[in-house]
Structure 1
Amino acid sequence: MPDYIVGVDVGGTNTDAVLLDPSKFLSSNIDSVVSWNKSTTTRDVAHGIENTIEQLFQNASEVDKKDIKLVTIGTTHFINAIVEQDSTKLEKVAVLRICGPYSRELPTMADFPPQLKNVLFGYFGYCQGGHMIDKQPVDEVNEKEIVEHCLKIQKLGIKSIAVVATFSPVINDHEVKVLEIIERNFPDWKDLDIILSHSLSGLGFLERENLTILNAAIKKFAFQILSAFHFAVTKVGLVNSSLLITQNDGTLLTLEEALAIPIKTFASGATNSMRGASFLCNANGVVSGGEPIIVVDVGGTTTDVGMLLADGFPKHTSSHSYIGGVRTQLSMPEIQSIGLGGGSIISIDRENPSKIKSIGPESVGSQITEKAIVFGGDTYTTTDFTLANMNESTIKKSTNPIVVQADISKVNDTLKSTQISSSYASLLKSQLEKVIDKMKVSPDPIKILLVGGGSFIVPDDIQLDGCSEIIKPPYYGVANAIGAAIGKISSTVVEMASINGLDAAAKKDKLNEVKQKAIDDIVEKGAIRETVSIVNVVNEAIPYVSNLFHIEVKVIGDVDYSATTSPSGSIPNNLLDTDLVIEQRDRSFLKESKLNTSDDLPMDIDIRTYRPNVRDREWLVSEMDLEFIRIGTYILGCGGGGDPYTKALQAKEMVKSGHVMKIIDIKDVPRFVDRLEDIKTVPVAACGSPTVTTEQLQGYEVLDAFKTLQKHSNMKPSTILSLEIGGANGLQGLLLGGLPEYNLRVIDADLMGRAYPLIWQVSPVALKQFKSEGSENNPFFSPSCISDGNGNNVYLSKVRSDHHAENIIRSALSEMGSYVGLACSPMNYHDLQHVTIPNSLSLAWRIGRGVCLSKQDHNPSQLPKYICDSIGDNSGKLLCYGKIVGIEKKLHKGFVFGELIIQSEEPHDIGRRILIPFQNENLYIKYEDTPENEVIASVPDLISVIDAESGEAIGTPDYRYGLHCFVLLLRPSTSWTKCKEALEVGGPKAFGLDIEYVPTLEGQSLDPTSVIDEYSN
């Protein structure tokens, strides 16, 4: 007798199930579907699963339940609880951040939606400990401190704890030590869930902490749901089968893994549909030749569109993903969604009843059998229109429960007219074409696979531009359950490996060692060793960190059905108590879901009429101003400078807590200083590895460098400014100036007007007589100071040249955690007037305001115009629209070098490929088919690649295949173009390029308009 698999997908509206015969996978995927069923998801999830599985066997009476070897279940319950901010299913979470002196100005959940934060926040404590990227401890874990925090947590009655230590994915000793301290000191603390962050995600402290919090919050609810799954499978009599849970990447988790890390199942619904589509694709020979295919999954409320790659797995996001508005690094399928489904509401134009005004996004969703016309309701939906225009014989042959139950006699003739039919078809076609185009990675026609229970609303004869073929295979309505059933097992091993002293062969051996660990781990989980394949290998050097490589290996393999065990043999003992399971399940599903309210709601601000607070020529910075500046500084980063996201969060938290950040104009500096000779303005910045900055959130690095400079140079600062406006450093002046102990005004200026990779590429160097190496003529960085914020300070009293300062600071980086704060030689008023780049904070503010205004107007297609209009004076220009189709990177002397390839979608040169080489920042732009020195634009012009939908800058670390973008050119400051010597510091020659700089934008270059000048009372 053959062995069988049951796949179940429990959605918010429907529960779908299939019974598959794996012995027929190789011969015919379609024939391997023995039975299938679609039913409404019940409030009591266990009962619903019992019913749907029993229905499978009623439809396949020849199959004996004893022959079911595997049950795989996917669910959206966990992510729905987060998205719905459901306090009946989420726990309060205590967060212990093991961070030493770092991240102290950025509290936990700072970027959570206010209402979700109100539901989840329980307690937060900063703790000693954590590591540097080189595995050296920042300081040691203090047991007394941990116990004191836990006593407070215990008193609050909180039993979900998230433990997050810096660089724990590299070395997890301190997270494990905290766990041991809690277990040793609180042996009677029952039912405690302690989540260690290193088990959830890789580098990226804020995103990993957010993920750990969400996992801790959902874990008890996950226990209830997974208990219900186990109970249902057991009660149905599948005693010889294992129970596995589908996760985000299309592979399977054991029940133990799912109980420990339920967040890994958050995106399994979309992934199951994609994987089921892959199965159905192979049945039709669609993916022969290794071509990708677009999957369009139409549900009751939304249509989800994703890219199915040639390996049969969905294309995933490669940067940040958002869960319920929370930024994480959880691997998620890249999905474009629109409000179109079987329950979408149709709005008919009252003035012209033969015309449809809109389809969706409003929907009756799971209430379709109550609200739709064909079920006796009073709401026009896509289901009504589709059935009204469907052939009666087709309706009778349908196996879709919605179609079968409908009464088309209730539909009036309005929906059957030729005019309205044409209007509906045109609007439906337009919506589908737009969302499909967003997912495509080339203008070439591509095959479409149509699946999902709501896909009957798409006519069989529809023709979509850009689609070579539309396939709706058998069993399209239960593709998600099929995807669950065919899941494979996966394993990922991550290591930060030191390669110091290793030759090429030894480095290769180290990589092979990690690969073997991954293979051994997946076999232990239950994969067939012979089927294991390596699907992803990351082997990259860490910028500015000597001899340290990030190695990551992911493998997948087929489930070994012969080695599977019964459900009771693969789950924790506390799931085996049937009475406990029933009690937990019933309590969960009988409670009403209520959302907590919060007074801390986002302000409803009209960006067009918003005025910054400028009083007596002092700009008092608000949270809205900081958001504008955040967006603008990253665009001015030209691909580099680092993402200012966490710096902006820190600044916003400071403003919320009452700190005052004040910006002044250069010409007003004498108003706030008693004597001109007392003007001493200190430029500040941070420098180091972008990899470190994502994990080691800023602490006191810049502050300590500033204090050390002040002490050793016996100097009293009057004002400060940011060394560079591009990227994260654009906010450094505000972060330091806003500290109450200094309360320093920040000058609306910087020394780059953008981001540059080298520290000495600043306007004071560019605008002096260009000096040879070894010149003794007062280098800009004499004196200067760097600090790691953890007690290590280096004061450079004198350097021979600014080039020497660069080399000294870069050399010290590797001994100081590869990230330091920098405070530079104070500038007098003459320097401020003649060698700074004025109004750069104003420029960033205006760029960010333009982006936000386009979002408010819901006009993303005009984003470049909004940005260019916001800065005025012919200072910006759209260079091209396109999609990223290629990216190459390599590390050399600490810098990331590479080349970005964009395929143009502009009508005049559609399909033409555009190259943007970069060294941390974008250097120049040219067409691929033109000579190397025939460029469109080059440094010092600002070349920024911007996400075409969000308007957010795309940094070079986040360049990824298939991303829709536009390239914006901004005029540089005249500091970089006024003389040959300046161009040698900031032009093409500074990067060893055989390119002559030619200004791209015509007209006179003017300083950006000052916000203070425009908005002064």
Structure 2
Amino acid sequence: MASNSYRIGVDVGGTNTDAVILDVRDTTGPQRGVLSFCKTPTTAPNVTDGIETAVRTVLTQSVVPPSQIGCLTIGTTHFINAIIEHDVRRLAPVAIIRLSKSFLREVPPFSDFPPALAKIMNGYYGYVDGGLHIDGSQESPIVEEQVVRECAAIRERGIDAIVICGIFSPIDDHFHQEKRVRDIVAREIPGADIVCSSDVSQIGFLERENAAILNASIMKFARPTVRGFRAAMKRLDLHCALYLTQNDGTLIDAPAAAKLPIRTFSSGPTNSMRGASYLAEGSGERTTKIVVDIGGTTSDVGVLLPSGFPRQASAYVTVAGVRINFSMPHLESIGLGGGSIVRVNEKAAVTVGPDSVGHFLQSKATVFGGDTLTTTDIAVRAGKEEIGNPDLIKDLDETIVSRAQARMKLMLERVIDQMKTSPAPLPVLLVGGGSVIAPAELEGVSSVVCPPCHSVANAVGAAIAKVGGTVDFIQSSTNKAVSEIVEEGKALAIDRAVGAGASRESVYVAEVDVIPLQYVNNNEVRVIVRAVGELSDDGVPLTNGTSEDDNTLEGGDEVYQEADKIQLSPKEENENRKIDINSYKPKIVINPETGVDEWVISELDLEWLSDGCYVLGCAGGGSPFSEFLRLRDQVRAGYKMRVIDAASLKDDAIIYWGGHMGSPAVSTERLANDETEQAVAELMEYYGHKKIDAFIDLEIGGGNGLQGLALGSTKHQGCPTIDADFMGRAYPTYWQTTLCAFEERALVPCAIASGDGKTILMTKTTNDEIVDRALRASCSEMGSRVGMAAKPTNKHAVLNYSVLNTISLAWRIGRTIACAHATNTISTVAEQMVEECGGSKAAKILFRGKIIAVERRLFKGHSHGELVIQQVQSSEQEDTSDLPVTPAVATGGILKIPFKNENIYAKHIADDGTEEYIATVPDLISVLDTQSGRALGVPEFRYGVMVTVLGITCSPRWTQTKKGLEIGGPGAFGYDIEYKPLGEYVEPRSVVLEYADKN
């Protein structure tokens, strides 16, 4: 009998510890190979007692000798529970040292943290010279004296959890800047917990830094927890490998988990999803199902598609409201579990959670003789469960019981509705030890199903976890073929999976993504490869327990007390408040000096504009997210941004325009910066202009759609931004503008600035196309991202050559997305966008399906490639039959969308091979993430994402001249395709004019 035939899966929750023994050879029986399972209270102060009890019980019940166990795998919600609960006892304040000489200042750490969590973790942040460029060269070398000064500031504050985060640190294979700084910090602050961001996550600076911050904050709690796992294993005489499950359902060894606990943050919910699917396989109707896993502290809710696989999260995910770049199933967690505390105020109002007695349930809950009223007490008093001593709660007022039950019911219904993309009722798979508190019926739920062994689904998910290996690197393709680089990446990922404990013969490559990087000197490509396999018979060399004393359990005398409440200031409360979308109106005021109506931009306006600009980016233009954070922080600091209608411009107005140019990969690392402002200043100096009357965006699509607001902010030029742009979308080059369609040499004189002290001024040209080519060549030499300011224009050109009211259109599209989320109508968000864009004559839903292939390549500095979308089987779709879904222009077969930074055309290939171009540039083709309703850019295209393709008719500025179609139509991209308008253009409604008389 092979030793790995049996696996023990353990889930350590806030209230209960679950364990199963699984026979991997017998997965078809009614118990799906589960020989024995046990649920026991999670013990305190030493959690290892509960682990030991649970594992010993299943070993005894199954009569399987410890020597026959192939591995012990543990999943835990301990770490994420502390984050969700904002538990100041277990979260440490963090200091951050950023490595960059010239960048990162505009968007500081914690910019996108919820105020309460930032109040706990934001201990200090500072900057030192350092950072890399995208080609691996240094932006600046590390200066030790600067690091020493930062260490002194950190010591003064008594902080010993420290994050080091440098630009492009994940590709730093030569200078090892983060490691150098780590060594200096370790010398200056002995015993500190130091986290290098490159050890935590990959490219994407803000998301990587956020993940590193969460990781550093929880490390002091993680170490004794992991040591406790090892100690329990020792006492059980288990000599197999010890693993923890990671967010993606794969395994990580114990020492690595103690250093990188964030990799286990979502392991409990992931295991629950996989365990529920495994246990329910072959039973019940194959439809979309909601999985609700109720533990002792939280309820985690996810979606199982009819195929039996979890619905995946979008490109970025959030943990307790913090955005990070880990791949994991789409889950929502609320503070509701079997140990959640029930409170009654002086007015008899009842609240439930979010704090919990957790693993102290059997000592703190009233039914066990404690002094804390919990949801378990409510369930016992209501006759749903027979545990503890019911006599201890027999006098509990039935009104309190009914109100608590109503509150729990409402909490579950709300989070379930949040996960649905349609109001249609769906069945629920109910798992987890706290499931007893769930009501028998829920609004919006067709039935509640408990699969076999449902109470230990997490432990089952842990037992069936696979072993993974991932690589993510950037390499030049100048002297090596991309295919060769990919094969090297595959081999490395497979080796890493095998090194992590997978049997080589079972390993397969599950994911490959090749992303050419724009505007870089050596044709660099980013390669991401993920390989997975089954656990090897031999496991891996045991590393757990060799470097630390297993019996040294820090925090062993911990006793339960309510977590300190975080008190927010009035300003922080204001930032955290929720706004009623339906009643919100933009603020339009009359400027007393000019008499012009001006739209004063708010935080909510910026959020909607950000989402809308990405939709209008047609997959290009770069993500607006970091630009949104920069502008939101300016609004919070009291700066103002104003938008005016183009007709209100003075006849002699001096109008500047421009935006960012370069690689989106650089933007994700450098974050929003003031390069465009620097380019404008250079051009103003050349012209001798002392002030600017207004700014107009180069393009409304992507991050550049917010550039006008950034430059016009009172922090910079203090001028209004015109509700218009020179593209009505995003295009890959500066000469592809409506202004260039009407004017010759419209770009020069112009200036570009790198943001770190380098500027170039171009004053003459023979045509506009060569200007763009020259500037892009310079851009690649200046760090692959610059800001650009073009030749100032005038009111006549704006009124006659620009695309009007595009800021208004972006705002309306963003508001549509927000409303769809608020009303659970995401599945029809595309239909709602069609209405905002002028109705079915002006916009259309082109196709619905799943991305099945993404090809990327680099040519002359631009990201070229092709997206292939296939209409999926009904088993892979969520049921939306209750909603009036508009038929797509094309159904069946596949849709191919080539892109050059932006999407070029949409060609439908029917099942019989018939081909039809259903949309081409200059019309807009936007790919929406069906799950969120938000746009996907080229960097976010990946296999398996469910998408909806939206087409919008372009402005007639592109079609009323021959030159317009020459520079903006299919021929400009090398395609001999006749342009056929998608529909009739409808000019967007002006927000300024619509709301001016109503404020």
Q: Between the two proteins, what is the percent identity of the paired residues?
A: 35
Counterpart in the other structure of 1:648: 628
Cα gap change, 1:875/1:953 in structure 2, threshold over 3 Å: closer, same or farther? Answer: farther
Distance 2:497 2:964 in 1: 57
Aligned to 1:590, the other structure's residue is in SS state coil
Task: Using the TM superposition, give the Cα deviation of residue 532 of structure 1 relative to its aligned residue in structure 2, in angstroms.
Answer: 3.9
Task: Using the TM superposition, give the Cα deviation of residue 825 of structure 1 relative to its aligned residue in structure 2, in angstroms.
Answer: 0.6
Aligned to 2:170, the other structure's residue is in SS state coil
Q: Is the 8 A contact 1:704 1:789 kept in 2?
A: yes
Q: Is the 8 A contact 2:92 2:161 kept in 1?
A: yes
Counterpart in the other structure of 2:254: 255
Distance 2:815 2:303 in 1: 32
Match of 1:593, as an amino acid? A
Mapping for residues 120-269 of structure 1, pairs under 5 Å: 120-171=121-172, 176-181=176-181, 183-184=183-184, 187=187, 189-234=189-234, 236-238=235-237, 240-269=239-268
Counterpart in the other structure of 1:534: 509
Match of 1:836, as an amino acid? S
Q: Is the 8 A contact 1:493 1:517 kept in 2?
A: yes
Counterpart in the other structure of 2:766: 800
Q: Is the 8 A contact 1:293 1:449 kept in 2?
A: no
Counterpart in the other structure of 1:598: 568
Q: Does 1:722 align with 2:688?
A: no
Give CA deviations for 1:297-335 in whole Å, capped at 9, x if unaligned.
65467574455899x986643510110011110121244
Match of 1:830, as an amino acid? H
Cα gap change, 1:927/1:522 in structure 2, threshold over 3 Å: closer, same or farther? Answer: closer
Higher Cα radius of gyration:
1
Match of 1:785, as an amino acid? A
Task: Using the TM superposition, give the Cα deviation of residue 281 of structure 1 relative to its aligned residue in structure 2, in angstroms.
Answer: 7.5
Give CA deviations for 1:698-746 in whole Å, capped at 9, x if unaligned.
3232122222223334444523221111111011122122263533332
Task: Using the TM superposition, give the Cα deviation of residue 262 of structure 1 relative to its aligned residue in structure 2, in angstroms.
Answer: 0.4
Match of 2:14, as an amino acid? G
Cα gap change, 1:650/1:557 in structure 2, threshold over 3 Å: closer, same or farther? Answer: same
Mapping for residues 387-398 of structure 1, pairs under 5 Å: none
Task: Using the TM superposition, give the Cα deviation of residue 661 of structure 1 relative to its aligned residue in structure 2, in angstroms.
Answer: 2.2
Q: Does 1:549 align with 2:545?
A: no
Task: Using the TM superposition, give the Cα deviation of residue 154 of structure 1 relative to its aligned residue in structure 2, in angstroms.
Answer: 0.5
Counterpart among 809, 813, 834 of residue 847 in structure 1: 813
Distance 2:122 2:438 in 1: 44
Q: Does 1:319 align with 2:319?
A: no
Mapping for residues 115-514 of structure 1, pairs under 5 Å: 115-171=116-172, 176-181=176-181, 183-184=183-184, 187=187, 189-234=189-234, 236-238=235-237, 240-276=239-275, 296=291, 299=294, 302=299, 304-307=301-304, 316-317=312-313, 319-335=315-331, 474-502=452-480, 504=481, 508-514=483-489
Counterpart in the other structure of 1:707: 681
Structure 1: state its 5+ residue gaps: 345-359, 372-376, 389-400, 411-426, 671-675, 769-777
Counterpart in the other structure of 1:897: 865
Aligned to 1:824, the other structure's residue is in SS state strand
Match of 1:237, as an amino acid? L
Distance 2:54 2:9 in 1: 11
Match of 1:737, as an amino acid? G
Distance 2:33 2:817 in 1: 51
Cα gap change, 1:39/1:809 in structure 2, threshold over 3 Å: closer, same or farther? Answer: same
Q: TM-score, normalised by structure 1?
A: 0.80
Distance 2:316 2:185 in 1: 37
Q: Is the 8 A contact 2:338 2:376 kept in 1?
A: no
Give CA deviations for 1:789-813 in whole Å, capped at 9, x if unaligned.
1233222111111111122223223
Structure 2: state its 5+ residue gaps: 341-351, 368-372, 395-409, 873-879
Q: Is the 8 A contact 1:244 1:255 kept in 2?
A: yes
Distance 1:857 1:1008 in 2: 24
Aligned alpha-carbon RMSD (Å):
4.7
Counterpart in the other structure of 1:685: 659
Cα gap change, 1:963/1:550 in structure 2, threshold over 3 Å: closer, same or farther? Answer: closer
Mapping for residues 822-837 of structure 1, pairs under 5 Å: 822-837=788-803
Task: Using the TM superposition, give the Cα deviation of residue 164 of structure 1 relative to its aligned residue in structure 2, in angstroms.
Answer: 0.6
Aligned to 1:667, the other structure's residue is in SS state helix
Counterpart in the other structure of 2:20: 18
Counterpart in the other structure of 1:945: 927
Distance 1:885 1:365 in 2: 44
Counterpart among 1009, 1012, 1015 of residue 990 in structure 2: 1009
Task: Using the TM superposition, give the Cα deviation of residue 864 of structure 1 relative to its aligned residue in structure 2, in angstroms.
Answer: 4.7
Distance 1:255 1:430 in 2: 37
Counterpart in the other structure of 2:404: none
Cα gap change, 1:829/1:274 in structure 2, threshold over 3 Å: closer, same or farther? Answer: closer
Match of 1:898, as an amino acid? E
Counterpart in the other structure of 2:93: 92
Aligned to 2:171, the other structure's residue is in SS state coil
Distance 2:192 2:974 in 1: 59
Counterpart in the other structure of 2:728: 753
Task: Using the TM superposition, give the Cα deviation of residue 93 of structure 1 relative to its aligned residue in structure 2, in angstroms.
Answer: 0.5
Task: Using the TM superposition, give the Cα deviation of residue 72 of structure 1 relative to its aligned residue in structure 2, in angstroms.
Answer: 1.7
Give CA deviations for 1:26-78 in whole Å, capped at 9, x if unaligned.
99895853321123434443332232223224424x44446555322110111
Aligned length: 929
Task: Using the TM superposition, give the Cα deviation of residue 821 of structure 1 relative to its aligned residue in structure 2, in angstroms.
Answer: 1.0
Aligned to 1:748, the other structure's residue is in SS state strand
Distance 2:413 2:219 in 1: 42
Cα gap change, 1:448/1:534 in structure 2, threshold over 3 Å: closer, same or farther? Answer: farther
Distance 2:886 2:868 in 1: 21
Counterpart in the other structure of 2:845: 879
Counterpart in the other structure of 1:584: 555
Q: Is the 8 A contact 1:544 1:895 kept in 2?
A: no
Task: Using the TM superposition, give the Cα deviation of residue 681 of structure 1 relative to its aligned residue in structure 2, in angstroms.
Answer: 1.5
Q: Is the 8 A contact 1:250 1:313 kept in 2?
A: no
Distance 1:712 1:586 in 2: 70
Distance 1:279 1:1014 in 2: 54
The range that moved more, 991-1000 or 91-100, is 991-1000
The range that moved more, 300-309 or 30-39, is 300-309
Distance 2:996 2:708 in 1: 21
Q: Is the 8 A contact 1:247 1:268 kept in 2?
A: yes
Counterpart in the other structure of 1:59: 61
Counterpart in the other structure of 2:398: none
Q: Does 1:570 align with 2:551?
A: no
Match of 1:259, as an amino acid? A
Counterpart among 626, 649, 660 of residue 606 in structure 2: 626
Q: TM-score, normalised by structure 2?
A: 0.81
Q: Is the 8 A contact 1:945 1:966 kept in 2?
A: yes
Distance 2:339 2:180 in 1: 52
Counterpart in the other structure of 2:400: none
Distance 1:556 1:449 in 2: 27
Match of 2:666, as an amino acid? V
Task: Using the TM superposition, give the Cα deviation of residue 198 of structure 1 relative to its aligned residue in structure 2, in angstroms.
Answer: 0.7
Cα gap change, 1:860/1:72 in structure 2, threshold over 3 Å: closer, same or farther? Answer: closer
Counterpart among 710, 715, 739 of residue 740 in structure 1: 715
Match of 1:542, as an amino acid? L
Q: Is the 8 A contact 2:132 2:168 kept in 1?
A: yes
Cα gap change, 1:90/1:476 in structure 2, threshold over 3 Å: closer, same or farther? Answer: same
Distance 1:222 1:694 in 2: 30
Distance 1:380 1:452 in 2: 14
Distance 1:985 1:115 in 2: 50
Q: Does 1:786 align with 2:760?
A: no
Cα gap change, 1:298/1:687 in structure 2, threshold over 3 Å: closer, same or farther? Answer: same
Q: Is the 8 A contact 2:7 2:72 kept in 1?
A: yes
